[in-house]
Amino acid sequence: MTVIVETRDLTRRYGGMVALNHLNLSIPQGAVYGFIGPNGAGKTTTMRILTTLLLPSDGEAYVAGHSVVRERAAVRRQVGFMPDFFGVYDNMKATEYLDFFAAAYAVPPARRPKLIADLLALVDLSHKQEAEVMSLSRGMKQRLSLARTMLHDPALLILDEPASGLDPRARVELRELLKELRNLGKTIMISSHILTELAEMCTHIGIIERGHLLASGEVAAIMRSLQTHRVFEVHLLPAEGAELETALLQAANLAQAQPHVLEVRPLPQANPPQLQIDFAGDDRAAGALLAHLIAGGVSVTHFAGQVSNLEEIFLRVTAGSAYGGTS
């Protein structure tokens, strides 16, 4: 596995306040890394260090093997940074805006027209190429900013709160664009304190609070480490003429007698009626549990393990912590 971002005891102080406290994280190439934490946790400070806009107080950080302190020019060639607040030159047209930054990135003039046209097509702004930036909606400005980050074809995109202030449609469009960028081979580090924005796109996550990295790794691996057992949801139909409560009790008794079942909770008021089963076995044991229910005469219409979401993960990892710090 190739690591594109690595930090070692990365620390940043502002006077007597510690914004980052010995941060150790790694991001594999090709990942979509969700950097999660409340406002003021240290997300933006980390990103500014990785983009060479801020020097660390102590520790090391590397991007594509280059030190953010000693090889700043090399790091900047590898990184496209989209800050949380989008600054533009309002009187420029969209193509002029991208041409200006292409020149700043030393893109040869002969290459710029096709490059700009391709990027505008990628972010679905070809129809706005002659529009002044000030006339664009916030969602369009965000997509234009994302196009700007890719002018020099960086390996790593660092996006700080990219969906902030966007309406629901613009959020969906941004999410689909990020999926497409990952398919193109880009590694993406994206921060947010709104977890639902990241739930569908992240392969890896890091949870930070008050400058401390509390967890980092593949989403599935973190879920497994936090879940001592799974919860299976079972929907059933009572036999014709049978009482619902009787059917639920029968199914609960059958389930409770099986290995690896920790607890069974009948939910007669649910629609449809169901059981929730706390289960500590593997997939083979789960299949045996289902077979046992069916063999016992239970009409099962749905049998599936509940999936934890990012909000649940965040709450478990940060349990007992208090928010604070600086962004």
pLDDT at 114: 96
**Amino acid, single-letter form, for residue 76:** R
Both tokens assigned to 25 = 């994280």
Q: In this structure, how many other beta carbons lie within 10 angstroms of the beta carbon of residue 15? A: 5
Topology agreement, domain 3-224 and domain 228-305: no
CA 290-296-300 angle, to 5 degrees, is 45
146-160, 195-209, 271-285: least confidently modelled range:
195-209
Residue extents of the structural domains in the chain: 3-224, 228-305
More confident residue, 244 or 150: 150
Q: Is 277 helix (H, G, I), strand (E, B) or coil?
A: strand
Spell out the CATH class of 3-224.
alpha beta
The helix or strand, by DSSP H or E, that contains position 27, with its residue range, turns out to be strand 26-28
Q: Between the ranges 158-162, 167-171, 313-317, where is the mean pLDDT highest?
A: 158-162
Mean pLDDT of the chain: 87
pTM of the model: 0.75
| DSSP state string for 122-163 | HTT-GGGTTSBGGGS-HHHHHHHHHHHHTTT--SEEEEESTT
Determine the Cα–Cα distance for residues 243 and 287; give it in Å rounded to an integer.
27
The CATH code belonging to domain 228-305 is: 3.30.70.2860
What is the reported pLDDT for 326? 42
